[in-house]
Chain A
């Protein structure tokens, strides 16, 4: 079972007249239900790759299949709906909606996918408990610490039970202690809920937790390691 398949995917950015290659001919399969870490130095193309997999950016060439769907063929609205249903995002800067409280931030993706009121309540409450913020439901992001904000963001990413959760250096803006706790939380939730987590990080602690590790340098894959055996479906 694979949740993401990339074939010959390339992407470059144009800076004035110069073309900056960000990814070159990436061919990669990300297995379903696993904790995959993209590892590489800064500027190696991790974010670019995550953006492509997360369907918020388009490659210049190559094919991309996410959760069985040829996402490159989808129009903008269909792609937005696809993201709402199948992909969760965890950002480096948390990116919570500042005017919504913790509860409402977690609820937001459920509103986008049209989940009914009772089910929404049940799921949000469940996630608040799971990330340990049941008593902070009414707090606005501004009233939460960095670690708490990232917990809300994790809950938000998991709300729709997406096939795939993207996390671009989610601990980079946290102190190491909090970062470790957040990592552990994600790892536990991923195990419990059997979703695919795709991480980017250059933190060895993150790498240590990976089921699969993908090493990138200068926009090319330099190695793939399977750290834990794939469970039979």
Chain B
């Protein structure tokens, strides 16, 4: 007759009370697991977005991240093909890599001078093949087909802009941007492009090559020597970017086009070498290896490495927020379970006072009485956790197959609402352990009280 089988029988003795307690624990556990699974899905979704867009790690010129943004001239990485080759051929790093691709970020002014409008923009020159390879990343098995860059297969002067840029540059109609009623056309002084810009543009590209399209824009930037330079781009698509600030600023173009704009005839540089790994868990190892490489074969280059969480601070902010909410819910539910179980056990102690006195008279030690009730609490906790896990799995399954969608922060298109409970054994384990701990702990005080009862008084109890 071990303590657990006795505990089980005693729990079964008062079925209704045990069931109510179990129900409270079940709901608590499944609430934690469901919210945990929901926020886990958001975190992984965000992570997937960031890793697809900007990789796990980026090698940048020292200080570029803090001081060099918008100054590709001063913070460009020269000789980047050699660095990329070194990374791709490194026996330690190569097996972890999915993509290594260069990128050139630049600040400038985009103008639709036919319409007399312009605005500052943030340009990204990307390698299309590398970009498309990055978009394939799906380590967390999100549903849906991988997107490809809209620049795929386009001419070298093609560009994609944010819908906000398209609105300001009055390109809504030709680019078929939605939610963009023809804005009141305002009279401005600069109705035509300044002569010097037109001249620069003409100098850059022979008249014959110039696109006569209605979607042409001029991108003006400072070149490596500090002089203004202009590229004429043909916008092939306006793409919504989710975050308004970015949507109002983004211009994506071919890497070579961007390099020609900044470096002209000089040796082309980039502002970042983007590394995407097979698994996010490999980041520390990959980083360590990069540090070795920067101190070894790549010694002397003023380079530093940043991870996606540093490059996208909102990742940490959003995951932190969800962790805080989850923690709050867990504490709340923990407290409820604590009171429920301790109430149940206190009632059991009072009901079984005579029994406690009898067992003590028969020679059971105080510790034996304590064990009896603590075991009951632990058993309640274990069964409650188990039922809660099953309930959470069922609800998660139902939700995941219900076809519900939602719009995560920073996303443009709704995504299926997914709750990740199945496949998260660490989360399930932590929750179950936590609940059992709380249940055991809350049985401890009533158990102590039971063990301290005076035998004669307990036997006289009616």
**Could you tell me which A residues sit within 8 Å of B by CB distance?**
51, 54, 56-57, 76-77, 80-85, 87, 89, 91, 93, 95, 97-100, 104, 107-109, 111-113, 156
Contacts and interface: CB of A to CB of B under 8 A. Distances in A.
Q: Is the interface of A mostly helix, strand, loop or mixed?
A: helix
A97 B368 CA distance: 15
B13 interface: yes
Interface of B: 1, 6, 9-10, 12-13, 354-355, 358-367, 455-456, 459
B364 A112 contact: yes
Given A51-B456, A91-B459, A98-B355, A83 B363 contact: yes
17 contacts: A51-B456, A56-B456, A76-B365, A77-B365, A80-B364, A80-B365, A81-B365, A85-B363, A89-B361, A89-B362, A98-B355, A99-B9, A99-B10, A99-B13, A100-B6, A107-B1, A112-B364
B366 A76 contact: yes
Chain B at the A interface: mostly helix, strand, loop or mixed?
helix
Contact of A108 (B1, B10, B354, B459): B1
B366 to A, nearest CB: 6
Q: Which of A57, A81, A97 has the most CB of B within 10 A?
A: A97
Contacts, number: 65
Given A56-B455, A77-B365, A109-B362, 9 more contacts: A54-B361, A77-B366, A81-B363, A89-B358, A89-B362, A97-B355, A97-B358, A99-B10, A109-B363
B448 to A, nearest CB: 14
B363 A91 contact: no
A81 B363 CA distance: 6
B453 to A, nearest CB: 11
B366 A108 contact: no
A99 B358 CA distance: 14
Contacts of B9: 99-100
Residue of A77, A89, A99, A111 ringed by the most chain B CB atoms within 10 A: A99
Can you list the 6 inter-chain pairs with the closest CB atoms, starting with the nearest?
Answer: A84-B363, A99-B9, A95-B358, A56-B455, A83-B363, A80-B365
Contacts of B355: 95, 97-98
A95 B367 CA distance: 21
Contacts of A104: 1
A65 B430 CA distance: 54
Contacts of B456: 51, 56-57
Nearest to A113: B363
Nearest to A159: B362
A32 B312 CA distance: 87
Nearest to B8: A99
Contacts of B362: 83-84, 89, 108-109, 112, 156
Among B13, B360, B364, the one with the most A-chain Cβ atoms within 10 Å of its Cβ is B364
A88 to B, nearest CB: 8
Nearest to A56: B455
B367 to A, nearest CB: 8
B1 A57 contact: no
Point out which of B1, B9, B358, B362 has the most chain A C-beta atoms below 10 A from its C-beta: B362
Nearest to B11: A99
A77 B366 CA distance: 7
A81 B366 CA distance: 11
Nearest to A89: B361
Nearest to B458: A56
A2 B112 CA distance: 117
Nearest to A166: B361
Nearest to A78: B365
A157 to B, nearest CB: 9
Contacts of B455: 56-57
A91 B13 contact: no
